[in-house]
Amino acid sequence: MTLTQMRRAAIQFILTACLAAYLAGGLGATPALAQARHGIAMRGEPQLPADFSHFPYADPNAPKGGTINYALQGTFDSLNPFIVQGQGVSGLVDLVRGYNLFDPLMQRSQDEPFTLYPLLARSVETDDERSFVEFRLDRRARFSDGQPVTPDDVIFTLELLRDKGWPRYRTTVNKIERMEKVGDDGVRLVFKQPDRELPLILGLMPILPKHATDAENFAKSSLKPLVGSGPYKVESVRPGEMIVLRRDPNYWAADLPSRRGFNNFDEIRLTYYRDDNAMFEAFKKGLVDVHIEGDSNRWAKDYGFPAVAEGKVVKDTFQAGLPSGMLGFVFNTRNDLFQDKSLRKAIAGIFDFEWANANLFNNAYARTRSFYDNSELSSFGHPASDGEKALLAPFPGAVDPDIMAGTWRPPVSDGSGRDRAFLKQSFDILKAAGYVRDGNQLMTPKGRPVAFEIMLRDKAGESLALWWQRTLGLLGIRLDIRSVDAAQYQQRLNSHEFETIMFFYPSSLSPGVEQVGRWGSVSRDAPGSMNYAGVADPAVDAAIDALLNARTQNAFIDAVRAYDRILLSGAWVVPLYHQPQQWVARWSHIGRPDVTPIGGYQMTTWWREPAK
């Protein structure tokens, strides 16, 4: 954080004095400790002052006007992005393309780990324990029909999303004990128990108008546009194919500091395509203005078309400050075969990254060695601190000795695809655990063949899975590859009916409550949860609790690194690789700021270059 030690000491003194006054007034008194602030950070203080003029990665003088054409994959049959039924248009509430129709209470800065600043709410108030949060609405805030945003709308939205929205909304709102109006512009949400992250999660909630929302039929998919408070309104819809958004000339927050330099296009066109190849071909033809590239082969070889040579298409490489996340093959330990950690470790150890990177990916990727690689949250290369050791002490054996010491490295091959010493490391693990070869087949200690299936979405990841299949076969392990369509894939994910999958776990500089859904014991048997590995481990639960409740950055780093060590030691995922940079291609008539925040590129700050 940017605060000096002197300022930290002063703030601590004030908080201590306020707490003493509060306790002296009795438990029934309003907490004197709390005070309305212009922003809120997960830990520490917001970096920007109350009088900040704009986010540092946005250009407040960016030109306004013109159209941007985005491509999305798949289709849609609903304009409601908040419900389970149907396939909603992601470009309406989209971390990449923006919250175009629906503003949240507060705006997240992409240049800080997790900090919010004013939007619908002009201020936020909470106590040191974070047992409640109070938002004061900006009296200028309006929905797109001109009606003011009120505390009643906030309470209505939370109750509606709890009862009829995605399950994640219900999980969040159920942590609230009561909702209270405070005056004519405030709403106080009192929690069932203190929760350090909950005020920020609630601050990111989009708000819907009580007067213009059909609550009774809200859970049903519909192509009727919802009334929002965001910078755009729906202009036209071609069901399943395209939606056109038009910038609202009366958008109330256009000159708000958290909105200056954003939402610069008069028109946003969201066009749906069958697959990524179709999206790229449309980009080459100029039908799409930007293409987010995730294919290293295409980035290296397929941008030789004339528009690139003529300077009409620009290839941008962005260096973000975010952790790598974890792309990996995930073992579903609900399957008896994968309950053996020795087998999981051995299989994870024979992913031949060196061969795959050279032969499949033009050496464009880096090996992933942590769920938080390339950040201070990563445990890789760091011996456990005293704080970590204290957190892990109740769980002896939860972390492998080499991972605890910071000396662990993923096995490295010679890149030939036939490295016998590389394979022997995994075979020795299997042999010690009682696995034996019977001809060309590896057998479990109970005499069963070691064989399993990987489920892929369409053809995505097939070349890598084929290579993994070949490498596993060298040890006598049979891998079957099954590609299914998107609908079946999602259905089987929700019901956890698979043996292995290829999946990406995104990471941020402020991992939080989402970790419960990915790895927590309570989510193991919950239908639709993202606990795909089927983990129910008290050490994991304790580490998640520690990172959620950390008060200081040092305590938070200790908790996340301990958590990272537990996940790596559990061998529930085969770590694969990550892009060292972000790759985005754009037509030159799309401009962007020169500054890149820690969150990477921000297309909501881009603009259409004025005609010369």
Mean pLDDT of 215-226: 94
Q: Which pLDDT does position 275 carry in this prediction?
A: 87
Average pLDDT over residues 295-315: 94
How many helices (DSSP H) and strands (DSSP E) are in the chain?
Answer: 17, 27
Mean local confidence (pLDDT), 429-457: 96
Residue type at 121 in one-letter notation = A
Does the pLDDT value for residue 103 go beyond 60? yes
* Tokens 């079946």, residue located: 488
Find the mean pLDDT for residues 53-73. 97
Query: Measured between alpha carbons, how far is 295 from 243 in angstroms, rounded to an integer?
Result: 27
pLDDT band with cut points at 50, 70 and 90 for residue 605: very high
pLDDT tens-digit map of 522-538: 999 988 889 999 999 99
The first and second tokens of residue 598, run together, are 């820690």
The Cα 363–Cα 16 span in angstroms is 55
Cβ-Cβ contacts under 8 Å for 293 (sequence gap 6 or more): 299, 583, 584, 585
In the block, tokens 């800080």 appear at 112
State residue 571's pLDDT score.
97
Q: Are 288 and 573 in contact (CB under 8 A)?
A: no
Q: What is the mean pLDDT of residues 560-580?
A: 97
Band (pLDDT 50/70/90 cuts) for residue 4 is very low
- Rounded to an integer, the average pLDDT of 438-443 is 95
- Band (pLDDT 50/70/90 cuts) for residue 157 is very high
Instruction: Indicate the CATH number of 326-578 among 1.10.600.10, 3.40.30.10, 3.30.70.360, 3.10.105.10.
Output: 3.10.105.10
Quick one: average pLDDT of 312-320? 95
Q: Which residues pair with 291 in a beta bridge?
A: 585
| pLDDT of amino acid 13 | 33
User: Longest Cα pair distance anywhere in the chain, in angstroms?
Assistant: 79
Which of 172-186, 243-257, 486-500 comes out lowest in average pLDDT? 486-500
pLDDT value of position 366: 94
The percentage of the chain sitting over the pLDDT mark of 70, rounded to a whole number, equals 94
Query: Which whole number is the average pLDDT over 119-127?
Result: 97
Each residue's pLDDT tens digit, 7-39:
333 333 333 333 333 333 333 333 335 689 999
Q: Hey, is 500 helix, strand or coil?
A: strand
For residue 29, the tally of other CB atoms under 10 A from its CB is: 11
| Edge-to-edge strands, sheet with 186-191 | 121-126, 132-137, 186-191, 176-182
The DSSP secondary structure of 523-579, one letter per residue, reads GTTSTT-S-TT----HHHHHHHHHHHH--SHHHHHHHHHHHHHHHHHHT-EEE-EE-
**pLDDT-based confidence at residue 255 (cuts at 50, 70, 90):** very high
Average of per-residue pLDDT across 110-130: 96
pLDDT on residue 91: 72
* Model confidence at 254: pLDDT above 80: yes
Could you report the per-residue pLDDT of 364-411, keeping only the tens digit for each? 999 999 999 999 999 999 999 999 999 999 999 999 999 999 999 999
* pLDDT at position 554: 94
pLDDT for residue 10: 37
pLDDT of residue 6: 32
In this prediction, residues 226-241 reach a mean pLDDT of 95
Give the mean model confidence (pLDDT) for residues 568-579: 96
Quick one: average pLDDT of 403-428? 94
Instruction: Give residue 585's pLDDT.
Output: 98
**For the chain, what is the mean pLDDT?**
91
Torsion over CA: 559, 565, 570, 571 (sign): positive
Please report the pLDDT score of residue 32 as a whole number.
39
Does the pLDDT value for residue 123 go beyond 90?
A: yes
502 versus 418: the higher-pLDDT residue is 502
Count CB neighbours of 212 within 10 A: 14
pLDDT at position 23: 33
Report the SS3 class of residue 281.
helix
Per-residue model confidence (pLDDT) at position 536: 97
pLDDT band at 564 (very low <50, low <70, confident <90, very high): very high
What local confidence, expressed as pLDDT, does residue 22 receive?
Answer: 32
Helical pair 462-473 and 353-360, crossing angle rounded to 10 deg: 140
pLDDT of residue 11: 34
Percent above pLDDT 90 for the chain: 83
Give the residue ranges of DSSP H helices in 433-512: 462-473, 486-495
What integer pLDDT is reported at residue 85 of this predicted model? Answer: 83
- 543 confidence band (pLDDT: 50, 70, 90): very high
